[in-house]
Amino acid sequence: MIQEDIIIEKNIVYGKAENEYLTADTFRLSNCSEKSPVLVLIHGGAFQTGSKEMYTEWGERLARENYFVMAINYRLATSTYASYPEVLEDIEEAMNWLVLHSNRLDIDVSRISMIGDSAGAYLAALFSLRKQPFSYRICAVVGVYGPYDLVMECKSLKAERKIQMFERLLGLTFEGNERAFKEASPISFINAAATRPTFDTSFYLITGKEDNIVNSFQSRIFFEKLKGANIDVELTEIDDIGHFWFNYIPGIKGGGVEDYPNNIIYPDIISYLKKINTQACNGNFSRRQIISIAKTENLQISDDKLEKER
């Protein structure tokens, strides 16, 4: 489907779970003159609901910023099925699909960024910190009101629910299984990621201080832990907003790119992604990798930005 200058392809099969195909919608300029960086959009929904269609408006708008945009569905947890850790395989399938079709689509898989809200922010953060890819690079994660420390969140729940979303995700009760919840938390992988020369992901965290679903301090503690590990990170905290405002949910007011606070956050996200993509090295090199090699072999760095980081 072509909408003005945007080519939209719906329900592309990018992989397969146990009992279903995994689908995505893609958005791209019809007249792009150069390789496009990539944005993968991961919806929220307490790991049990939600859809790629939540990001339709974002997909169209971001494509006009010269991104190849892929909004994905992934397997969801149910009362009889825990989707973790297999859900991370779904994201990897999406990445592999991008690499496989990169020449046909004329996209730059050394410049992939991820945007996720709530559960999607958790998945994007966890995947980027755990994965060690060599055929593509995750340059940035934009996480919107995400949970990053499951243990802390379970001990400080703001929303009382009959179905605890993290227990549904893992298929375990929190009581008696605290270690499993810690091992499934993005914050637990920061230090290990920071020591890998191939790790080259920056983070932009966004949250509302009035969030009554996920504690807003989740973004703050994640920010502090990333910063302490010398990982590039920025944080925006919005004083007068809560949860469920970043994208479209049927029957829920707001969620459009022009709605508050998206209308003030959108320019910041675009500026941030532009900065990160400009800094990224060509090909599958990472800044950390180059700096590590230079230190080990006592090599001179010619790039001023890399020399400053060293």
Per-residue model confidence as pLDDT tens digits over 101-127: 999 999 999 999 999 999 999 999 999
Report the predicted TM-score, pTM, of the whole model to 2 decimal places: 0.93
Per-residue model confidence as pLDDT tens digits over 215-269: 999 999 999 999 999 999 999 999 999 999 999 998 889 999 999 999 999 999 9
Domains of the chain and any CATH numbers: 2-279 (3.40.50.1820), 282-310 (no CATH)
Q: Inform me whether the pLDDT recorded for 162 exceeds 60.
A: no
- What percent of the chain has a predicted confidence (pLDDT) above 70? 92
Asked if 203 and 221 count as a contact pair (C-beta separation under 8 A), the reply is no
Asked if 108 and 135 count as a contact pair (C-beta separation under 8 A), the reply is no
- The H or E element that residue 63 is part of is helix 56-63
Secondary-structure percent of the chain, ordered helix, strand, coil, rounded to 5: 40, 20, 40
DSSP state of 213: S
Classified as helix, coil or strand, 11 is strand
Per-residue model confidence as pLDDT tens digits over 127-152: 999 998 989 999 999 999 999 999 99
Predicted pLDDT of residue 34: 85
Per-residue model confidence as pLDDT tens digits over 88-104: 999 999 999 999 999 99
Closest CA to 72 of 98, 35, 104: 98
Closest CA to 120 of 27, 61, 41: 41
Helices (H), 213-283: 217-228, 262-279
